[in-house]
Amino acid sequence: MLGYRTDLALESITGLQEKPRITEHHRGNYFQITEIVIPDEDAGRSLGKPAGRYITLESEPLSGFSDQYEQMAIELAGEIRALLPDHGGVLVAGLGNANITPDALGVRVTEKILATRHLQKELTEQDDDFLKHLRPVSVIAGGVMGQTGIESAEFLQAVAELVQPAAILAIDALACSDLERLGTTIQIADTGIAPGSGVANHRKALNQENFGVPVIGIGVPTVIGIKSIAENISETVSESLPEAFSGMMVTPRDIDRLISQSAYILACGINLALHPDLKYTDVAGF
C-alpha cells in the first residue's frame, strides 16, 4: 500500500508496474483529462480504490480568476453528465464542515446548486415549458458527525429514502500527495466517495452498494500531508521528518479563494450537467 495519503486515483497508480487502463486525452480547450478504469476489485486492491471509473481534470490553479470559466464549466458538465442516468431526480449532497475552510467545499457548492424538485408540482398548473424541462434536483448539506452525531451515510440514506433519487452527486474536499495537484485538480468518480478518507478518518462509504443508485463523487484536493510534501522535496527530508509531524495536513495560503472559486466552477458544471437546456449565463446568474 502507499505510504502517503491521497484520494486521487491518478496518484495511486504512480510507481505501479502494472497499471489499470488509462486513457489520457484533451477535450475542449481548458482541462487535461485523464480517465482511469479499474476493472475489478482485485485490480483495485493494490491501489486502495474500489473498481470503477476515475476522471481527473487538471488545470491551472483553481484559486485564480480566469476568463475561461464558461469553457471550464462546459467541459466539467460534459464529464459529469456522461456518468448520470438519462432520467430521474438527482440528490446533490455537500459533505464536510462549513466551519473549517479546507473542508467546506461540499457545503459551498450546494449553496449554488439549483434545487428544482419542489417546483415540479407547482409547475403542473402553469404553462411554462422551459421550467417544466428542468430535472428534479434535491440539495442537502448535513454537516459532519462531530457536529450532528450522525454519520454522513446514515443521514443521506434517510434523505434518499424520502426523495428516491435516480442518482446521487456527493461533493467533498479531497487530499492529494503531489503539490502540483493541490488546488489544480478535479476528480469525478462513479465509485462514490468515502468521507474523511483523505485524513485517515474513515466513515461509511457513499456508493451504489450502500445506496442502491449510482453515487458520483466529485472533489478538489484542498489538503496535503506534511509527509507527502517532504517526499516531494527529497527522500532525505522525508526520512528526517519528526514522527510528531508525520500525521499533519497542510493547506494553501489562499485556501479561502480556492474554496470560493472551486465551489463556483463545480456548481456551474453540476448545474449545466443536470439541466442541459440551461446556458452558462443562466447558471452563472444563480
Residue 23 has pLDDT above 90, yes or no: no
The pLDDT value recorded for residue 190 is: 96
Looking at the DSSP bridge assignments, the partners of residue 53 are 37
Q: Where are the domains positioned within the chain?
A: 9-223+254-274
Residue 19 has pLDDT above 80, yes or no: no
Quote the CA–CA distance of 158 and 154 in Å, as a whole number.
6
The pLDDT value recorded for residue 227 is: 78
Residue 110 has pLDDT above 70, yes or no: yes
Residue 2 has pLDDT above 50, yes or no: no
Residues with Cβ within 8 Å of residue 167, at least 6 apart in sequence: 84, 85, 88, 90, 91, 213, 214, 215, 216
The pLDDT value recorded for residue 184 is: 96
Residue 128 has pLDDT above 60, yes or no: no
The answer to whether the CB of 10 falls within 8 A of the CB of 36 is yes
Quote the CA–CA distance of 81 and 68 in Å, as a whole number.
20
Quote the CA–CA distance of 226 and 179 in Å, as a whole number.
10
Residue 279 has pLDDT above 50, yes or no: yes
The average confidence (pLDDT) of the chain is: 85
pTM of the predicted structure, to 2 decimals: 0.88
Residue 235 has pLDDT above 70, yes or no: no
Residue 161 has pLDDT above 60, yes or no: yes
The pLDDT value recorded for residue 182 is: 95
Q: What is the CATH number of domain 9-223+254-274?
A: 3.40.50.1450
The DSSP string of the chain is --SS----HHHHTTT-SS--EEEEEE-TTS-EEEEEEE-SHHHHHTTT--SEEEEEEE-S-TTS--S-HHHHHHHHHHHHHTTS-SSS-EEEEE-S-TTSGGG-HHHHHHTTS---TTHHHHHTTS--HHHHTSPPEEEE----HHHHSS-HHHHHHHHHHHH--SEEEEEEEEEES-GGGTTTEEEEETT-B-TTGGGT-----BSHHHHSS-EEEEEEEEEEEHHHHHHHH-HHHHHTS-GGGTT-EE--TTHHHHHHHHHHHHHHHHHHHH-TTS-HHHHHH-
Q: Which one has a higher pLDDT value, 231 or 2?
A: 231
What is the grid cell recorded at 270?
453540476
What is the grid cell recorded at 180?
502540483
The pLDDT value recorded for residue 236 is: 61
The pLDDT value recorded for residue 220 is: 98
Query: Quick one: average pLDDT of 177-186?
Result: 94
The pLDDT value recorded for residue 5 is: 76
Task: Give residue-wise pLDDT tens across range 54-104.
Answer: 999 999 999 998 889 999 999 999 999 999 999 999 999 999 999 999 999
Task: Give residue-wise pLDDT tens across range 29-41.
Answer: 789 999 999 888 8
Query: Quick one: average pLDDT of 41-64?
Result: 88
The pLDDT value recorded for residue 153 is: 85
Residue 53 has pLDDT above 70, yes or no: yes
The pLDDT value recorded for residue 40 is: 82
At 274, the pLDDT band (50, 70, 90 cuts) reads: very high
The pLDDT value recorded for residue 13 is: 83
The answer to whether the CB of 165 falls within 8 A of the CB of 90 is yes
Above pLDDT 70, what percent of the chain? 84
The answer to whether the CB of 225 falls within 8 A of the CB of 249 is yes
